[in-house]
Amino acid sequence: MENIFEAKKKKFLELSFSDSYSTTHTLEEAQLLPVGTENVSVAGRVVSLRILGKLLFAVIQDIFGRLQIAVKVKDENSETFQLFKENVSVGDFVGVKGKLFLTRTEELTLDVDSFKFLNKALRPLPEKYHGMENQELIYRQRYLDVITNLESRNLFQKRLLIQREMRRFFEDNGFAEVETPILQNVASGALAKPFYTAHNALDISCVLRIAPETYLKRYIGAGFPRVYEFAKCFRNEGISTVHLQEFTMLEFYASYWNSENMRDYVERLARHIIFTVLDLKQLVIDGVEVSLEDGHWEIIKYLDLIKKHTDIDLDQFKDSQSLFDEIKRKDIHVEGITPKTHWFQMVDSLYKKKCRPFLIKPCFIVDYPMELGPLSRRKPNDPTKVDFFQFIIGGVELAKGYSELVDPLDQEQRFIVQQKARDEGDTEAMPLDKEYLLAMEHGFPPIAGCGIGIDRFIMTLLNCDNIKDTLLFPLLRPVE
């Protein structure tokens, strides 16, 4: 291997490279051109090469397309053939110009009149037919996996398509794309443990954004009617096949909406992506076919769901000790629940471990206990609940939304409860966010908001086994 590498280094030093190449079409566009089109200039990476006497075939490729090219020994370009044959290898980048024709096997091919050498790959690509098989190596060198694996190229094409279509959907519905800060003073907007960092110039400690929520609602307070953001968020939590510490969150907020308006909007958005963009009729989850077309998606009340799967009526057990005793009496085992666990953490654990895995078909869970939605508006007819929903497919939470709390007095009291839990050791509880309260005290309109974990959304709809499969560059421990 090192001998091959040294030989390629030597060839690299001998060759001259063009620093640019003017193309007439992308590879994707060239595939749609009629046979006989002349003066077609395209560029890409050589991913296969066959030399057949005085004729060679190669395939050049990028993430969106690939095209076969042919270089022949002809009077006018015999030098072109010789230069290509002697200098170009699989993995190299070239720019080529010529005329499109069909081979005997009806494959669209570019008959090359001229080419420019753009760069040489010093290391070989993975073996053509088997590609990369070591999963950790795939994550570490995803660029090679994308080059050699059609399924990976399709996945990341679909990820781009989904995000592009989501943006179009939002713009068509009157939402403006905005930005919120990643470096923040307070870890607000979600129940999560943050990453900490330092700002040297200001001499302050900062946290990396766990959610853009409180800043997006400040946009609404400033007079933006509807806003959305594809926000990189950071939560210092455990690793699993459905969790990432750095992830992409799509959050969006609309003034003068409530949770019902937002839930309808989320269903329209999800149906647009599932049926129109991806043309999905069903998913296969854990070997079970899940239909996505069964009319209007079911709406289930949170407490009814817990009672169904645990036989615990949470309205009868409203403090930590009584709920813990009932869990113990019913011999329900959930890791992490102890007599010191806060009531809302016990409830959340029961839901996540004993209920959510059974929610396979698309559905919405509604009417959460107030303690589980510290930024949510209380239900007018039941102040112990909040106007809150989750969208579930295949036992995985894909979206969470609610009528936003815009009462600063109520919000302050809930922050105090969260801060008390934080002071008692709950590292995921929300701290008192005074700057957000100040903004709210200047007046917010009625607001509904929602967050969609884009990586998890894509993982579920594209049937990935691990959320890392949806990322080109997942974070891993260094090889050393």
Examine residue 79 and state whether it is found in any structural domain, yes or no.
yes
pLDDT at 51: 94
The CATH number for 409's domain is 3.30.930.10
Examine residue 477 and state whether it is found in any structural domain, yes or no.
no
Q: Are residues 178 and 100 in the same domain?
A: no
pLDDT above 80: residue 297: yes
* Predicted model pTM: 0.87
Q: Are residues 227 and 283 in the same domain?
A: yes
Nearest CA to 220 out of 63, 426, 16, 439 is that of 439
| Band (131; pLDDT cuts 50, 70, 90) | low
Q: Are residues 19 and 102 in the same domain?
A: yes
Examine residue 233 and state whether it is found in any structural domain, yes or no.
yes
| Band (196; pLDDT cuts 50, 70, 90) | very high
Average pLDDT, the chain: 90
Q: Are residues 254 and 370 in the same domain?
A: yes
Nearest CA to 405 out of 233, 263, 258 is that of 258
Q: Are residues 155 and 36 in the same domain?
A: no
Examine residue 323 and state whether it is found in any structural domain, yes or no.
no
pLDDT at 342: 84
CA distance 362 to 296: 9
Q: Are residues 200 and 252 in the same domain?
A: yes
User: Which percentage of the chain shows pLDDT scores above 90?
Assistant: 62
- Residue ending a domain, among 110, 125, 140, is 125
Examine residue 340 and state whether it is found in any structural domain, yes or no.
no
Amino acid letter, 174: G
pLDDT at 14: 67
Q: Report, as an integer, the average pLDDT of 218-235.
A: 97
Give me the DSSP letters along 65-119: -EEEEEEE--TTTHHHHHHHHHH--TT-EEEEEEEEEE-TT--EEEEEEEEEEEE
432 versus 228: the higher-pLDDT residue is 228
Q: Are residues 107 and 25 in the same domain?
A: yes
Burial class (CB in 10 A: 0-12, 13-18, 19+), 457: buried
pLDDT at 132: 76
Q: Are residues 183 and 287 in the same domain?
A: yes
| Predicted confidence (pLDDT) per residue in 350-403, tens digit | 998 999 989 988 999 999 988 888 788 988 888 888 999 999 998 889 999 999
Q: Provide the residue range defining the domain that includes 421.
A: 148-297+361-470
User: What is the tally of structural domains in the chain?
Assistant: 2
The CA distances from residue 38 to 41, 95, 97, 118, 332, in Å, are: 9, 15, 9, 22, 72
| Predicted confidence (pLDDT) per residue in 237-258, tens digit | 888 888 899 999 999 999 999 9
The CA distances from residue 384 to 253, 366, 479, in Å, are: 24, 13, 50
pLDDT at 257: 97
Q: Are residues 287 and 397 in the same domain?
A: yes
When mean pLDDT is compared across 72-81, 210-219, 259-268, 375-384, the lowest value belongs to 72-81
Q: Are residues 375 and 281 in the same domain?
A: yes
Nearest CA to 297 out of 325, 276, 275 is that of 275
Q: In what order do the strands lie in the sheet with 196-199?
A: 183-184, 204-208, 196-199
The CATH number for 57's domain is 2.40.50.140
Examine residue 351 and state whether it is found in any structural domain, yes or no.
no
Q: Are residues 394 and 433 in the same domain?
A: yes
| Predicted confidence (pLDDT) per residue in 12-70, tens digit | 666 778 889 999 999 999 999 999 999 999 999 999 999 998 999 999 999 999 999 99
CA distance 311 to 314: 9
pLDDT above 70: residue 11: no
Query: For residues 95 and 115, is the Cβ–Cβ distance under 8 A?
Result: yes
Q: Are residues 69 and 158 in the same domain?
A: no
pLDDT at 77: 60
Examine residue 445 and state whether it is found in any structural domain, yes or no.
yes
User: Which percentage of the chain shows pLDDT scores above 70?
Assistant: 96
pLDDT at 70: 97
Query: For residues 252 and 227, is the Cβ–Cβ distance under 8 A?
Result: yes
CA distance 207 to 362: 35
